[in-house]
Structure 1
């Protein structure tokens, strides 16, 4: 759903850019808390010592999976947006930043999504998907019985709804600032209809990934925090909360193994599996062509990029060119994403560590419901 230059007029694109900057600024502040910083003395630290290193990996994984277009219907394909996945794994504010980093890398290096439309893309693909998905996920997680299956089902539903929500947000922006005269009702019907189908694929990828991480390290899933009752100890005839223990060396090692496995998976998906992705136009491209939205599409400012259109210029073998571009994209994204979240952790308030000296907020795996 990467919006190219020329779909939305300059004033609305500028307004969307301002909105995106504001959303990213809010997300930066919120991500500091999600990554373990506290906004005021005495505020509890939420386990970010273990989550922060995963944020850059989540951005790289989203970049890789977005290269895997899957067919949906009538010559149309779709790909992961990633807002729901990022929000559930590392938190909604951190999720906005993860997807924003991906969109920035795609627009600048690969000419995927217009540079003047970057604000529109961040608003639609990063902010709307993340906010909608996390709101739905948290609501369902509180209503459903505690357990891994319930969390996975909540993740599936949240991701499913986030995609047509993004399509509706684009339609609203187009209604205000579209550069072609197309009946908005037809645009809305086509956009939301095809993106409901794409949402099924998004939901499957999100649920499988969230379920896999919960099965291995539930304490690393931001969306699973606070959903299980704390361990109780009986002291003097009364039940009290057990103190949080420092992460065991085995858990730290498991964390590193999970990170390494995720990075290798991202490289394999982008460098090899992406060659077999569907070549059909994605939902927005198909609707834009069928309804005439693309009549004023402009040439991308980064068309001379050495990685234009996910290939390495000068390499004639399409498999090698696309695979190498994917590997480079994953590498650049994980470095950029990790740098952003490392900086956030470095800048956290001095009293953050005082709120939780051990840097822990132990999260136990939600008990599987019968």
Structure 2
């Protein structure tokens, strides 16, 4: 893992003064909260740095609510990349997640520092000056918390609470946490933060359009049994990740939900913890990455959560995903 010393060393080597912090499209609380905390950490180490935080198109509804309590300006206008000395990509492991900005930041030849809890994508590694990518943590906010610790700096109460919110969101209120996550949460509680009270900000009623997308995903579901495992496929126009999660909740072992718009594909994948623990199949590495290559796009993610974007048709994409699952599952039949 990269250290604060490595980050500052790179910034000083490039004589960096103006820093751009980038989040992915529709940035979720882990992306936004880790950006907030990183900005505060770097300001404490090098007060003379100037920052701009940007996200293509928008940030999520929950992220907007968090920033009402913990203000940080996030611009959605494309930055003039050449006006910056260095850029951070937060919770973003592929340039595709930045849309058109991805190509433009490469053209600007900026030093790029990637901080993420997904498996590093090979194309991202090629353009990054420093990759701090760790799959052994549950959220990018955990990485930032550890950077504070390594720097010997105690986060302020606001920063600690923001990190807590990012971690809680990405772990589904700690359901997907690792042991290291609980240690960090315990340390944050020791700072005098009421965990239960802080998490109330995440209790946002689900938007009706998201609820409808989930219902449509269930209505359109097609399932297959692969060596005893239930694999569910569906399609919705938006909220693919949320729809995939609900298919896992209602009984699928693997859920693959996509959208197709004028040949552009967006696919979200989820699997149950039982599926990963018993098969060892890493959705990001074993399924999403090769599918992204097939679709002339990008794919990647975690062990039980992944995403793909590219061009083609959903039927071909789903068939390829099913084929890969069959190949991977040959030696891992489900024991009923």
TM-score bracket for the superposition, by shorter chain length: under 0.3
TM norm structure 2: 0.26
Q: Which has the higher contact order (CA 8 A, sep 6+)?
A: 1
**Which of the two has greater helix per residue?**
1
Give the greater-gyration-radius structure (CA): 1
**Which of the two has greater strand per residue?**
2
